[in-house]
Structure 1
Amino acid sequence: MLEPDDNGLLALLAKNVAVELADTHGSVRITSVTSPDDAIAALSATLYDCVVLDLALPGSSAFDFLERLQESQDLRQPPILAYSAHRIGVSRQRLAQARFRIRRMEPLSSLDELRERIVSQLSADRPDSTDQPDGVVSFAAVPTETAVPPGDGDALTYDELRDRKILVIDDDVRNVFAITGILELYGLTVIHAPDGRMGIDALLATDGVDLILVDVMMPEMDGYATMTAIREIPRFVTLPIIAVTAKAMPGDRQKCLAAGADDYVTKPVDTDELLGCIRRRLAYQEPGGKKAR
């Protein structure tokens, strides 16, 4: 996995695929890098069945990697799944198209599409290699390996969260994209509002919201005021609310709880922390935001 953050969203998606394929394919070796240098080093050291490339890498890192891979004639070059959630500039499109014509590369713009292609690549016949243990598939270019053995995926599934409805109130598009990607990957339905007032309007207009994620730092009506206003509406008194804060400062937790939050998480949001927090808060909540008896 070559993406901006170690164990980012794309690595998380790959791990879930690995869990699903564990019974039929054995362990899948997944690792993550954040620079072209580490990616090339990993490909030089190990045979991989597939590479996932995030075209949103800072600067020209993604295309630097392609250029270096192009020049490394002695490297075995596995299929490349090039993912981009956002439109890229014209110059980058032209460069990418040139790479697509000469490399085993496939551009993808949705996580569902990427997931299907990962499954397809890992299900394909693999070349023989004396470097690979029996029953192990190597996936992506990475220097640090994370093996996902069969039957060890319980913490990655969160099946009980599937089809739950989450309202995300946040004005930062980047945060919304990251959080939404995580939640939708696990089968949750996400509704978004860009500020506190619109969040309350969305809550009143939408049936069956199970939980609210509120960013504390928003212009005009901030997260504290938003949570306080929500708690003043009788039918939302027990609806779970998780505050999202930029950093854990002394007194943050108490301030969030005083405003009406049940819990809080800090940015950058850790996937397992967020999902674990949501799972804890929904354990006593029936679907639709009703408190279980």
Structure 2
Amino acid sequence: MLLVVEDDARFALILRDLARELGFQCILAATATDGLEAALGHAPHAIILDMNLPDHSGLTVLDQLKRNPRTRHIPVHVVSAADPTREALELGAVGIALKPVQREQLLDVFRTLETKSAPGPRRVLVLEDDARQRESIQKLLAAEDVEVEGVATAHDALQRLREHTFDCMVMDLHLPDLSGQELLERMAAEEAVSFPPVIVYTGHTLSRDEEQQLRRFSRSIIIKGVRSPERLLDEVTLFLHQVESRLPPEHQRMLQAARDRESTLEGRRILVVEDDVRNIFALSSVLEPRGAKVEIARNGKEALALLTKSLAQPQLAVDLVLMDIMMPEMDGLTATREIRKQEAWRKLPIIALTAKAMRDDQEKCLQAGANDYIAKPLDVEKLLSLLRVWMPKG
């Protein structure tokens, strides 16, 4: 069964007809909310997801699907006019197709989804020159339906990638023959080499430049640390599309531990622009226990003053703004427009808080320059999902 989450009715019917032609049962959903409900209610084998949905960004749908143990194994292929390639792949999408799409491209989408949802063993390649470390990673990832193979050099890895298709590759950067960066470049350049999702798992502290270079190739960069086995297991099970309830109990416990830590919010400064004390308290009690630093502004004027102050004091720089729309003195729409006039704040993520889920309110927020919006009363999981999607990386 295939779930299509797409608000363009004409295109949704094209996808449905093609799905039926290829032997899939198909269900349609036109909004993010309906899409999530259908995914939980029908447990489809695969999902085709648009990014520009009327109620929420498709990225937040993808994030919620991949955070939920009941749906995270379902392969999701993005088909959209927007180009969220890096974000969508990092959240676990199996591929991106940009509209307008031709029939042949759509057939490729269906082939990818069929391959990823097919039962059978998954193959993981572990590239690590330290024998003890390699063995411990292989033990960590081994499961009933997962074949884990370990190699010690970049040249051995290239040879295995020529001979086999792997579902995921875990690699260290410091190798005896090539650097991790050189290996990734060789993999990209060589036609005969399969290029699976790559997880860089390294104890080396990366500079910002190194991280940007690696992100051109790697789905995920994991820095080795005290808790990193949980994160590594979390990332690998995501890319292998394993059903979480079938994993060994110890693996399930580790995955829960990885998800409980909101590393996205740790040490991040969030500006809450809100005049209602109860809402300020509710937001602070969600954000602060997860490691965020919360700044408060009671209206748009105070928000602009606080942001201006942060220009002179970089340690006060704000990572993201939660902007209420209805406020005295200067409302949220006006404040958002003023923020967007400043070059320094053009890319500052702004999530609007709207009092009611009115379509015109939401459109006004986006037109004013907000990245996304959420209706009150706030759904905590949806809010965390929006924060994970829009919080600047690194």
TM-score normalized by the length of structure 1: 0.45
Is the helix fraction higher in 1 or 2? 2
Structure showing greater relative contact order (alpha-carbon pairs closer than 8 Å, 6 or more residues apart): 1
